[in-house]
Structure 1
């Protein structure tokens, strides 16, 4: 039994200028929304979690960024990157926390979505090469999976339900 799909074209409600034809094409337009929500919420949560944990920004002590960096230094792929973070653990911790927060918020609202996704990919890459590198087998480390999850958003941006889509729609209407 074959399933029939609509092949007529119509204007997508809520996204003027986007013609949709058929169920598959319609589903493809919405496919990245769950990924955007998951990554956005996760990165906002990660940033806020770091910013509200007073012990995280300490140079030493249980749960601190300094202690974590010292623990992974010899097993990381790029020890020089860890050494750089250890020069100012609190500064590195704040950079990661505010970076995660900015990336998460921009991803959720779809503002400069490709740039935000690129930032998320860079954060995930840096954490994979430092903190998660020693995970064996590799699939136990979650930072590589986050890096791969950011790549579709780097390529596609946020074409639906985003400030980027609203801005593009406005530009099309003014032409």
Structure 2
């Protein structure tokens, strides 16, 4: 069976006509789920790690920033974070949580993806910049993974899609 019926999807978009179309339409869902879970988990891990949210000591955000300072592509970013390492740690953790939940729920999907891309970019330019070869560092790969979601948003199985569908049904969008 190579064809599917054309129906209005729960999201308000026309359902793809073939299985190949469906696969293409939903291709970003695994990436979205992976990034959402990973960023939400990273946030919870930081927020619950007693050693991480400290200005100094083994495993602390302060120690991590100190170690990254001299090898960062943009040391000024590290210097800014070092003014309040614990505040920076909370900002990163809460940002990761917002991004992770936002992309999982499809709530302002493009904005959530942009937030994830900016977090990944800042970590790549600071903490993982000195990783050689570059492909051993994960922050650049995360940055590249966020970009398709910045472009595509969360068109399926999302609050964004449900809101768009509601607006279409009420005549708000054509």
Q: TM-score if structure 1 supplies the norm length?
A: 0.93
Cross-structure match for 1:28: 24
Cross-structure match for 1:89: 85
Superposition CA RMSD, Å: 1.3
Residues in 2 aligned to 1:29 and 1:35: alpha-carbon distance in whole angstroms? 13
Residues in 2 aligned to 1:99 and 1:29: alpha-carbon distance in whole angstroms? 28
The answer to whether 1:139 aligns with 2:124 is: no
The runs of 5 or more residues in structure 2 that have no matched partner are none
Q: What displacement does 1:19 show?
A: 3.9
The answer to whether 1:50 aligns with 2:46 is: yes
Q: TM-score if structure 2 supplies the norm length?
A: 0.94
Q: What are the equivalent positions in structure 2 for 1:47-86 lying under 5 Å apart? A: 47-86=43-82
Cross-structure match for 1:120: 116
Equivalent residues of 1:10, 1:20 under 8 A apart: yes
Aligned residues: 171
Task: Say which is worse superposed, 110-119 or 18-27, in terms of deviation.
Answer: 18-27
Residues in 1 aligned to 2:169 and 2:13: alpha-carbon distance in whole angstroms? 9
Equivalent residues of 1:12, 1:20 under 8 A apart: no
The answer to whether 1:153 aligns with 2:149 is: yes
Runs of 4+ in structure 1 over 3 Å off: none
The runs of 5 or more residues in structure 1 that have no matched partner are none
Q: What displacement does 1:16 show?
A: 3.0
Residues in 2 aligned to 1:129 and 1:172: alpha-carbon distance in whole angstroms? 42
